[in-house]
Chains A and B, each alone.
Chain A
Amino acid sequence: MRKAKHPPVFWLFLAPVLVAFVLVIVVPFLLGVYYSFTNWSATARIGENLAFIGFGNYAKILKDPSFAYSFMLTVVYTILNMIAINVIAFSLAMLVTQRLKGRNVYRAGFFVPNLIGGLILGYIWQFIFNNAVPSIGTLLGFDSWAAAENLVLAKSATALLALVVVGAWQYAGYIMVIYVAAIENIPQELIEAAQIDGASPLRRLFAITLPMTSQAFTITLFLTLVNSFKQFDVNVSLTAGGPAVMFMDQPIYGTQLLAMNIYNQGFKSNDMAGGQARAVIFFLVLAIVSVIQVSVNKKKEIEL
């Protein structure tokens, strides 16, 4: 490897970023790992001093069915959300790169949901699912829409789908922008050549557009994977973890994703160290999965 030798001014210019990165990312991360091996509570209890307790917190996690449940639920949610977001985003991107009237308005319009904060979005959609949908159903003569047992948020399975709907609605516009940039970068001559050869639109999609945008897929799949896995704000405001279900013979929260599980362990149960241990596991899993995803996607990229 080439040994880089940088002049002092290089480090001077790098310093602000480096300091910020070390202070707000590296140090808290290492501290967090350390705290996960202690009995830290973040409150002021009498007679409790910070003590090193080894793998105690990690051992407790294995015995907690709610963590296992949240883990599986998050995997399911991530898969559904990745599919939904990318299919919708790619379709939208195809749509707004056609010769449409007012396509810039569409591009902006599809992107707007991304500008609304997740908490507010959750409350808006809670209103839609709990009040608007039943009212529309009653207006149209489908009284069953308003029945309590048919409400989307009343069952854990449909409530999870509601999370996917809101997640896709929020994030598809953002991912669309990345796809739009990729699609517009496809050399025009490739498409023209295909058209002259008489390739159908579907054939052009699979033979040209998809392979030529594979670089964008690396990014979008990574972003949707990581963001779905970390979903928290919409989860809190839309379902608050409800409704409850039975799992391994214990009553637990039915739509509590991993991030919310970590938060509740830390703040509701007054067990910060336990929450931190969960966060460390969360980080390891997410890091491994996303590294695999990126390397698989990289292999599929083509260079011109």
Chain B
Amino acid sequence: MKRTLAILASLIAFAGIALMIAGCSAAPAKLTLAQGKPEIDAALKAYAAEWSTANKVPVTIKSVGGSSGTDLGTQLKADLAAGDMPDIFAINGLEDYKEWANLTLDLSGEEWVKNTSVAFKVDGKVYGFPVAVEGWGMAYNGDLLAKAGIDPKTLVNYAGYKAAFEKLDAQKAALGVKSVVSMAAALDMGWVTAHHNFNSLLSNGLPYGDLSVVNALLAGDVDAKRLGEYADWVELLFKYADKTVLTTGNYDSQVGAFATGKAVFLHQGNWTDPNMAQAKATFPMAFAPHGSMAEATDGIFAAAPSFYVVNKNSKNVKAAKKFLNDLVFSEAGNKYMVEGAGMIPAFSNVKLNPTGQLSKSVQAYSAAGKVYSWSQYYFTGDFRDKTLAPIYNQFATGAIDKAKFVELMTKAFQGLKK
């Protein structure tokens, strides 16, 4: 008995000393970066390992996202509660920034700020490092369009798309496709409908950065004509989509249908390039503008939607700043961004070009200045996921018709008025 107690007591003492040592030792600099793009996880980890050896600062990369149950915001809340906030973390636009505003460091004085036009700014101060330029439109399979005798240049408005979809639908068997469009509207794919597609309503056809429609909707004023035309466009997409993928499919089944030539169009962005490479999809592909209006619109949606911010309370601010600067100014950093991760860099001094066909298409539109904003982040995630996504989903499953869709959308916006 006594012996047992002695062993127990010594174990407890030992544990206590170990804890004290761990608590007291001064922590050497180390970096943690949390980001929400799982598709670049491997490339980023490889680059971080290289950077760690060169700078003698260990870097931990946490990649969270890509599915319904988890996203970066969820992980960050848990990290904050645990007192384990990363030194660098990613945010998406203004509504996301507001959640973390108390923690973000002013980066206005950084070297890279001069080399980009799309840094995240609030009241003239720079807070976010643009991760990459991303864009989406209607990705099309060039071979199939040529075979069907459709000129992609006609795909600029509702009428152009309607004619093309009808023509393609009539020759589905000859082309060997299952459906014209690969679209997803299941509730966990709400980011395709209620985030990306929704943006057509907000910014299509408007000058870059024009928030007139956004502000009107946030104030509860609905432009019935614009919404009506947009509803026609959503109906058209849903009508010519493979119903199985549309109502129950996930990201893989949506992208897979296009990559394997089972669909002519894909409603996604240039981040699918790595997926296309994986699926060995080598057919010519590019983006066409959305046809959400009767009037012709000739641009796609391109922006830097995601930004790295530095945690103000981090003990490693210096290392964090260096990490970001090295991405822009070191050769290894540029190579990682463009070749490793396949991203379109948001910095003017980076001379490399991504190899993915869809990324090249986004670059071409950007270079020509034919781009429209991403404005969906002016609406809260709560509004998009819990209010809008169920409306799109019911429209897709056929539970409601177009008139009801317009009515519910109108009601949702009117509910935003405070």
State in angstroms the CA–CA spacing of A237 and B390 once bound together.
18
| Residue B101 is within 8 A (CB to CB) of chain A in the complex | yes
Q: Which of A41, A155, A237, A269 is within 8 Å of B69, CB to CB?
A: A237
Q: Residues 112-126 of chain A: 1 if any B CB is under 8 Å from the residue's CB, otherwise 0?
A: 000000010000000
Residues of chain A within 8 A (CB-CB) of B66 are none
Q: Is the Cβ of A46 less than 8 Å from the Cβ of B381? A: no
| Residue A134 is within 8 A (CB to CB) of chain B in the complex | yes
Q: Which of B361-393 contact A (CB under 8 A)?
A: 380-382, 385-387, 389-391, 393
| Residue B73 is within 8 A (CB to CB) of chain A in the complex | yes
| Residue A43 is within 8 A (CB to CB) of chain B in the complex | yes
Question: Which size bracket describes the interface of A in this complex?
Answer: 35 or more
State in angstroms the CA–CA spacing of A243 and B185 once bound together.
10
* Given A42-B80, A240-B186, CB of A251 within 8 Å of CB of B99: no
Q: Residues 250-274 of chain A: 1 if any B CB is under 8 Å from the residue's CB, otherwise 0?
A: 0111000000000010011111100
| Residue B94 is within 8 A (CB to CB) of chain A in the complex | no
State in angstroms the CA–CA spacing of A42 and B389 once bound together.
24
| Residue B283 is within 8 A (CB to CB) of chain A in the complex | no
State in angstroms the CA–CA spacing of A240 and B80 once bound together.
26
Q: Is the Cβ of A153 less than 8 Å from the Cβ of B248? A: yes
Q: Is the Cβ of B247 less than 8 Å from the Cβ of A154? A: yes
Pick from B201-209, B223-231, B272-280, B397-405 the stretch touching chain A.
B397-405
| Residue B103 is within 8 A (CB to CB) of chain A in the complex | yes
| Residue A246 is within 8 A (CB to CB) of chain B in the complex | yes
- Counting residue pairs across A and B whose Cβ atoms lie within 8 Å, the total is 114
| Most chain B beta-carbon neighbours within 10 Å: one of A41, A153, A241, A251 | A251
Q: Nearest-CB distance from A245 to chain B (Å)?
A: 7
| Residue B10 is within 8 A (CB to CB) of chain A in the complex | no
| Residue A236 is within 8 A (CB to CB) of chain B in the complex | yes
Q: Is the Cβ of B387 less than 8 Å from the Cβ of A243? A: no
Q: Which of A148, A155, A241, A272 is within 8 Å of B246, CB to CB?
A: A148
**17 chain-A/chain-B pairs, Cβ below 8 angstroms:** A45-B101, A66-B386, A148-B247, A149-B398, A151-B244, A155-B397, A237-B69, A240-B68, A243-B247, A244-B391, A244-B394, A244-B397, A245-B399, A246-B394, A268-B382, A269-B382, A270-B382
Q: Contact residues of A with B, CB < 8 Å?
A: 41-46, 66, 119, 130, 134, 146-149, 151, 153-155, 236-237, 240-246, 251-253, 264, 267-272
